[in-house]
């Protein structure tokens, strides 16, 4: 295991009824006025919007609202929200929603304190400060609730880029699994694929080896599989939703990869190109890319893939493990081929070019050129 420093500053409040604590948390952090950011309607339908407003009022927190954050959030909307945050002189951003709302909240939080255009943070400008971000999470998937990452699409240029910063970890993330009861089967499936993907990236690409990290990763994957199967039968099963929610948080809060060397995110790199070009749901894109990438990559780490097959599915051969994962993605309703989402072969060069730009930005440029990305896409037909 390599030397490491692990510091995750986000306070997690987990469990039933916990969303009412948002007002108290804001108050205890000295917040007087917040920007309340949310998506396209789910929190109004579920009653969470009313509950949040009640909690803010009870703690005498002033607020301005900004709604309409879309899944795969776009920079044009973030720019408008930054204007609201600056104009209203808020001293915090409160995100109520899934990963998309939270990612946009982080971008607004950074841009509200500077004169630069918010997109500059996604093309390399360093974040030196940000308003505090508070989150009530409504969808188990991205891990954004306990990391400093933000992913954003530039709707003018079709680039889906990201940043990460120690300044944009949420101060507090409230995780009430009951709030995920209303997530539909499709997004439940995509969230499960995403959580598994976050673990798989490090598990296969790392080159240092650490038994504790292997076992932690395998247990997260197994927990996601078990809980998803229960949720698909009964979306209101609290324990399964709770297991899923915490597994997804752990999958990308940094813990599974501490002490590991050479961790890369090649599946995310290709998926972000798919989302950028076709606005496909992130987890759906991953379910298509991962089995293809695994087939392409398996010969480079045969013992890793054999271990995966055995530990996750009780199977003896690497290839059978990959096939079992693909079949499981399919069984929960995620697409597993580009044909299923109507992406034709004639588009592959555009996808490869888009992903290759990300490869350069993510330090994967020596392993993934357009040629290699095209080879992987060919396996996803």
Asked if 81 contacts 36 with a C-beta cutoff of 8 angstroms, the reply is no
The 274-303 site mask, x for binding ligand NZQ (CB under 6 A), equals: -x------x---------------------
Q: How far is Cα 43 from Cα 51, in angstroms, rounded to an integer?
A: 10
Record the tokens describing residue 284, joined without a space: 């759906």
Provide the angle, in degrees to the nearest 10, between the axes of the packed helices 211-233 and 238-251. Answer: 140
* Closest CB to ligand NZQ among residues 40, 88: 40
Residue 306 Cβ, how far from Zn ion at the closest point, in Å?
A: 25
Q: Which does 252 bind (CB under 5 to 8 A by kind): Zn ion, ligand NZQ, none?
A: ligand NZQ
Quick one: which segment of 52-60, 120-128, 149-157, 340-348 binds ligand NZQ (CB under 6 A)?
149-157
Which parts of the chain fold into alpha helices (H)?
22-28, 42-46, 48-58, 75-88, 99-111, 185-205, 211-233, 238-251, 266-278, 282-297, 302-313, 318-331, 348-361, 370-378
| CB-nearer residue toward ligand NZQ: 72 or 295 | 72
Q: How far is CA 324 from CA 266, 291, 305, 336, in A?
A: 21, 10, 12, 12
Binding residues among 185-214 for Zn ion as defined by CB under 5 A? 194
The residue (of 49 and 161) whose beta carbon lies closer to Zn ion is: 161
Residues β-bridged to residue 162: 151
Round to whole Å and give the CA distance between 186 and 335.
Answer: 10
Q: What does the per-residue mask of binding to ligand NZQ show for 176-195, with x meaning CB under 6 A?
A: ---xx-xx---x---x--x-
Q: Which does 187 bind (CB under 5 to 8 A by kind): ligand NZQ, Zn ion, none?
A: ligand NZQ
Task: Please report whether residue 40 would count as binding ligand NZQ according to CB under 6 A.
Answer: yes
Q: How many residues line the site for ligand NZQ (CB under 6 A)?
A: 34
Give the SS3 label for residue 15: coil
Q: Are 48 and 180 in contact (CB under 8 A)?
A: no
The distance from CA 252 to its chain's CA centroid, rounded to whole angstroms, is: 8
- The single residue among 52, 135, 147, 249 that binds ligand NZQ, judged by CB under 6 A, is 147
The stretch among 17-25, 34-42, 51-59, 301-309 that binds ligand NZQ (CB under 6 A) is: 34-42
Comparison of 91 and 194: residue with beta carbon closer to Zn ion: 194
> Binding marks (x or -) toward ligand NZQ, 48..87, rule CB under 6 A?
-----------------------xx---------------
Q: What residues form DSSP beta bridges with 174?
A: 13, 136
User: In this complex, which beta carbon is closest to ligand NZQ, that of residue 46 or of residue 59?
Assistant: 46
What is each CA distance from 96 to 17, 42, 76, in whole angstroms? 15, 10, 20
> Measured from the CB of residue 187, what is the shortest distance to ligand NZQ in angstroms?
5
Segment 87 to 106, residues that bind ligand NZQ, using CB under 6 A: 97-101, 103
Which partner, ligand NZQ, Zn ion, none, binds residue 151 by CB below 5 to 8 Å per kind? ligand NZQ
Query: Which contacts (CB < 8 Å, 24+ apart) does range 48-53 have?
Result: 48/19, 48/96, 48/136, 48/138, 48/179, 49/96, 51/19, 51/20, 52/19, 52/22, 52/94, 52/96, 52/136
SS3 34: strand
Q: Closest distance between ligand NZQ and the C-beta of residue 67, in Å?
A: 9
Least distance to ligand NZQ, CB of residue 204, Å: 16
Site string for ligand NZQ, 240-259 (x = CB under 6 A): ------------x-------
Burial of 155 (0-12, 13-18, 19+ CB in 10 A): middle
Choose which of 2, 9, 16, 41 interacts with ligand NZQ (CB under 6 A).
41
- Residue 193 binding partner per list ligand NZQ, Zn ion, none, with a CB distance cut-off of 5 to 8 Å that depends on partner kind: none
Residue 4, judged by CB atoms within 10 A of its CB (0-12, 13-18, 19+), counts as exposed
Residues of this chain that bind ligand NZQ (CB under 6 A): 39-42, 46, 71-72, 97-101, 103, 138-139, 141-144, 147, 149-151, 179-180, 182-183, 187, 191, 194, 252, 268, 275, 282
Residues of this chain that bind Zn ion (CB under 5 A): 194
């Amino acid at each position: 295991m390599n030397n490491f420093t692990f510091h995750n500053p986000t306070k997690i409040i987990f469990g039933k009824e916990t969303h009412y604590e948002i007002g108290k948390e804001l108050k205890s952090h000295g917040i007087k006025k917040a920007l309340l950011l949310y998506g396209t309607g789910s929190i109004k339908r579920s009653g969470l919007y009313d509950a949040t407003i009640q909690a803010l009022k009870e703690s005498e927190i002033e607020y301005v609202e900004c709604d309409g954050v879309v899944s795969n959030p776009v920079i044009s909307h973030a720019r408008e929200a930054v204007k609201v945050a600056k104009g209203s002189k808020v001293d915090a951003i409160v995100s109520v929603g899934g990963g998309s709302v939270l990612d946009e909240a982080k971008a607004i939080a950074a841009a509200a304190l500077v004169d630069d255009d918010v997109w500059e943070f996604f093309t390399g400008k360093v974040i030196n400060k940000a308003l505090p971000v508070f989150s009530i999470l409504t969808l188990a998937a991205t891990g954004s609730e306990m990391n400093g990452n933000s992913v954003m699409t530039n709707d003018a240029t079709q680039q889906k880029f990201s940043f990460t910063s120690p300044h944009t970890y949420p101060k507090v993330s409230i995780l009430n699994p009951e709030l995920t009861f209303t997530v539909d089967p499709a997004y439940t499936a995509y969230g499960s694929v995403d959580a598994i993907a976050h673990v798989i990236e490090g598990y296969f690409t790392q080159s240092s080896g650490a038994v504790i990290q292997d076992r932690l990763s395998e247990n997260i994957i197994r927990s996601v599989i078990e809980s998803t199967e229960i949720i698909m039968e009964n979306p209101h099963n609290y324990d399964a939703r709770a297991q899923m929610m915490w597994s997804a948080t752990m999958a990308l809060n940094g813990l599974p990869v501490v002490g590991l060397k050479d961790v890369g995110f090649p599946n995310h790199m290709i998926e972000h190109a798919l989302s950028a070009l076709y606005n496909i749901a992130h987890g759906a894109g991953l379910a298509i890319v991962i089995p293809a990438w695994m087939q392409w990559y398996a010969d480079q780490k045969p013992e890793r893939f054999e271990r995966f097959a055995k530990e996750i599915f009780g199977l003896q051969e690497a290839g059978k493990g990959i096939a079992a994962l693909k079949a499981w993605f399919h069984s929960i309703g995620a697409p597993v081929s580009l044909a299923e989402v109507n992406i034709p072969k004639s588009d592959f060069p555009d996808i490869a070019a888009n992903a290759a730009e990300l490869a350069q930005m993510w330090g994967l440029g020596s392993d993934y050129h357009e040629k290699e990305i095209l080879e992987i896409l060919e396996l996803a037909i």
